[in-house]
Structure 1
Amino acid sequence: MPNTEYLKIPKERVGVLIGKDGTTKEHIENMTKTELDIESETGSITITPTDEMEDPLSVWKTRYIIKAIGRGFSPETAFKLLDDEFILDIINLQDFVGKSKKAILRQKGRIIGREGRTKEIIKDMTDVDISVYGKTVSLIGDMERIQIAKEAIEMILNGVRHKSVYSFLEKKKQELKRKEFENIVLKE
């Protein structure tokens, strides 16, 4: 039986995790066959496996669903992590710009873009969900697509012009389409 897990999310995200009348918390518990103990004052969460848990990865998946909600994703998007193909990747902006609040704010602005355009382009080109929250940029998608989105975000963080990042994404999108087409042809 997997062990109990402990984690903490920002206090302002606890309400989203619990949901209206506890519906989100209940849904997570039902989907993963785990029990959540949420400490609203601190944001501390305990994940305990239940007796009817079938998937040995349930506690691990629950941890990442909660982490995703804590990093700004909607519960609906976080539930994609129930699928074994999807992962959560978190980029810490401090790794690129240090602790300067001004620098973090500037980089978040570059990643989001005017009226959210850059973030939306990365999402559309890679089919990866993106959340810019606090000092992090979080990604939910399959491994290959996350690598592309992450590379594009790191290019932005390293000062590459948006136009160059968009060209990179366009090239990668074409490569993915070609690969998917080849896989379909091979299966026939």
Structure 2
Amino acid sequence: MPNTEYLKIPRERVGAVIGKQGITKEEIENATKTSIEIDSETGSVSISPREDAEDPLAVWKARYIVKAVGRGFNPEIALKLTDDEVLLEIINLPDYVGKSKKAILRQKGRIIGKDGRTRDIITDMTGVDISIYGKTVAIIGDMEHIHLAKEAVEMILDGSRHKSVYAFLEKKSREMKIREFHKMAKDENKLL
């Protein structure tokens, strides 16, 4: 079928994509006007546009929503990807730390932090959603915020101290708020 997208998700996440009595799968299909077929044995997924799909990116969006749920996000957060401004970024940990399970586990622990503190700080300061699952760190948000969160995660992966990462986020967060304030003020002046 033309415009059909195929992907594979971890088998243990198939249930999360389908949801109770198929409700999550149905929500994704309705939000994107696509048809989704899932093989629960292999984790293989195919996504096709429905006849009533008007958005040329419908299949692409559904693919990223399914991929996000496959990477550990709850479906509610993944559905934010129907917005054209919201993106999914996946950081593959072996690309940074090699294939050693011990190194991946250690880095995941550093990114999460004690009682989830580091992940929460990155999330709060950048306004993104983060899921650390398997060998990946997945981030959902707008481009500027994703870039900032990814930079913070990469700093941790490169061995930066948490204190340095927090200071970096604090500074960038302030700069971003100032830019957003100036943009808002500029837009308000246009209205006057």
Specify the TM-score bucket, using the shorter chain as the normaliser. over 0.9
Q: Does 1:72 align with 2:72?
A: yes
Matched AA of 1:38: I
Corresponding position of 1:60 = 60
Partner Cα separation in structure 2 for residue 122 and residue 167 of structure 1: 11
Corresponding position of 1:95 = 95
Corresponding position of 2:16 = 16
Corresponding position of 1:163 = 163
Q: Stretches of 4+ moved more than 2 A in 1?
A: none
Structure 1 residue runs of 5 or longer lacking an equivalent are: none
Corresponding position of 1:4 = 4
Partner Cα separation in structure 2 for residue 145 and residue 28 of structure 1: 24
* Matched-pair identity in %: 69
Partner Cα separation in structure 2 for residue 106 and residue 2 of structure 1: 43
Matched AA of 2:170: E
Equivalence map 1:90-129=2 (5 Å): 90-129=90-129
- Offset at residue 17 of structure 1 (A): 0.2
TM-score, normalised on structure 2? 0.96
What SS does structure 2 have at the residue aligned with 1:175?
helix
TM-score, normalised on structure 1? 0.99
Partner Cα separation in structure 1 for residue 31 and residue 107 of structure 2: 36
- Offset at residue 100 of structure 1 (A): 0.1
The one-character-per-residue Cα deviations of 1:36-64 (angstroms, maximum 9, x if unpaired) are 11100000001011111110000000000
Partner Cα separation in structure 2 for residue 46 and residue 126 of structure 1: 33
**How well do the aligned residues superpose, as a CA RMSD in angstroms?**
0.9
What SS does structure 1 have at the residue aligned with 2:54?
coil
Q: How many aligned residue pairs are there? A: 188
